[in-house]
Structure 1
Amino acid sequence: MQTRIGAPTLTIEKARQEASTVFLAKVFNWMAIGLALTGGIAYLTASTGLALSLVASPMFFVLILAELGMVFYLSARIEKMQPTTATCLFLGYSVLNGLTLSTIFLAYTRTSIAGTFLITAGMFAAMAVYGLVTRRDLSGLGSFLFMGLIGVILASIVNIFLKSPALYWGISMIGVLVFVGLTAYDVQRIKQIGEQGIMAQGEVAIHKGAIIGALALYLDFINLFLMLLRFSSGSRD
Structure 2
Amino acid sequence: MQNQYDPRTTNASGFGPAVSVGVPRAARDAGLRSYMLKVYNYMASGVLLTGIVALLFAPYARDVLINASGTGLSGLGWLITFAPLGFVLAMSFGINRMSTATLQLMFWAFATVMGLSMSTIFIVYTGVSIAQTFFAVTAAFLGLSLWGYTTKKDLSGFGTFLIMGVVGLLVAMVINIFLQSSAMALAISAIGVLLFAGLTAYDTQKIKSMYAYVAGTDMMGKSIIMGALTLYLDFINMFQFLLSFMGNRE
Using the size of structure 1 for normalisation, the TM-score is 0.90
Match of 1:63 among 70, 80, 94: 80
* 1:224 equivalent in alignment to 2:241: no
Equivalent AA in structure 1 for residue 25 of structure 2? E
Structure 1 residues 104 and 233: CA distance shift in structure 2, 3 A: closer
Pair 1:102-2:119 in alignment: yes
Kindly report which structure 2 residues correspond to 1:197-208, keeping only aligned pairs within 5 A, or say none.
Answer: 197-201=213-217, 204-208=218-222
Per the TM alignment, residue 137 of structure 1 is displaced from its structure 2 partner at its CA by 0.4
Map Cα deviations across residues 97-117 of structure 1 (whole Å, 9 max, x no partner): 000100000000111100000
In the other structure, the counterpart of 2:130 is 113
Alignment coverage as a number of residue pairs: 223
1:54 is aligned to: 64
Letter in 1 for 2:216: A
- For the 8 Å contact 1:16–1:197, the answer to whether it is kept is no
Are 2:80 and 2:117, in contact at CA under 8 Å, matched by a contact in 1?
A: yes
Q: CA deviation at 1:14?
A: 2.8
* Match among 66, 83, 87 for residue 100 of structure 2: 83
Which amino acid counterpart does residue 46 of structure 2 have in structure 1?
G
Residue aligned with 1:136, SS:
coil
SS in 2 for 1:153: helix
Q: Is the Cα contact below 8 Å between 1:152 and 1:175 reproduced in 2?
A: yes
Deviation at 1:55, TM superposition (A): 2.4
Counterpart of 2:246, as a letter, is S
1:31 aligns with 2:43: yes
Q: In the aligned structure 1, how far is the partner of 2:82 from the partner of 2:228? A: 21
Structure-to-structure mapping, 1:1-237, within 5 angstroms: 12-46=24-58, 49-56=59-66, 57-194=74-211, 196-201=212-217, 204-236=218-250
CA contact (8 A) 1:131 1:187 kept: yes
When residues 10 and 84 of structure 1 are mapped into structure 2, their CA distance, relative to the original with a 3 A threshold, is: closer
SS of the aligned residue for 1:80 comes to: coil
| C-alpha contact 2:137 2:239 (8 A) present in aligned 1 | yes
Report if the CA contact (8 A) 2:190-2:245 is conserved.
no
Q: Distance in 2 between matches of 1:185 and 1:91?
A: 24
8 Å Cα contact 1:124/1:183 also seen in 2: yes
- Extract unaligned runs of 5+ from structure 1: 1-8
Task: Choose 1 or 2 for highest CA Rg.
Answer: 1
Per-residue deviation at 1:64?
2.1
Q: Percent identity?
A: 40
2:138 partner amino acid: A
Please state which structure has a larger fraction of its residues in helix. Answer: 1
Q: Distance in 2 between matches of 1:81 and 1:88?
A: 11
Secondary structure, aligned partner of 1:218: helix
Counterpart of 2:223 in structure 1: which amino acid? G
Cα separation, partners in 2 of 1:233 and 1:95, compared to 1, 3 Å:
closer
After the TM superposition, which segments of 4 or more aligned residues of structure 1 sit over 4 Å from their partners?
A: none
Instruction: Give, in angstroms, the shift of residue 29 of structure 1.
Output: 0.8
- Please report the TM-score for the alignment, with normalisation by the length of structure 2: 0.86
Amino acid across the alignment from 1:199: A
CA distance in 2 between partners of 1:231 and 1:162 (Å): 18
- Rounded Cα–Cα distance in structure 2 between residues aligned with 1:65 and 1:181: 25
**Counterpart in 1 of 2:16?**
none
Tell me if structure 2 keeps the 8 A contact 1:20–1:192.
no
Q: Once superposed, what is the RMSD of the aligned Cα atoms?
A: 1.5
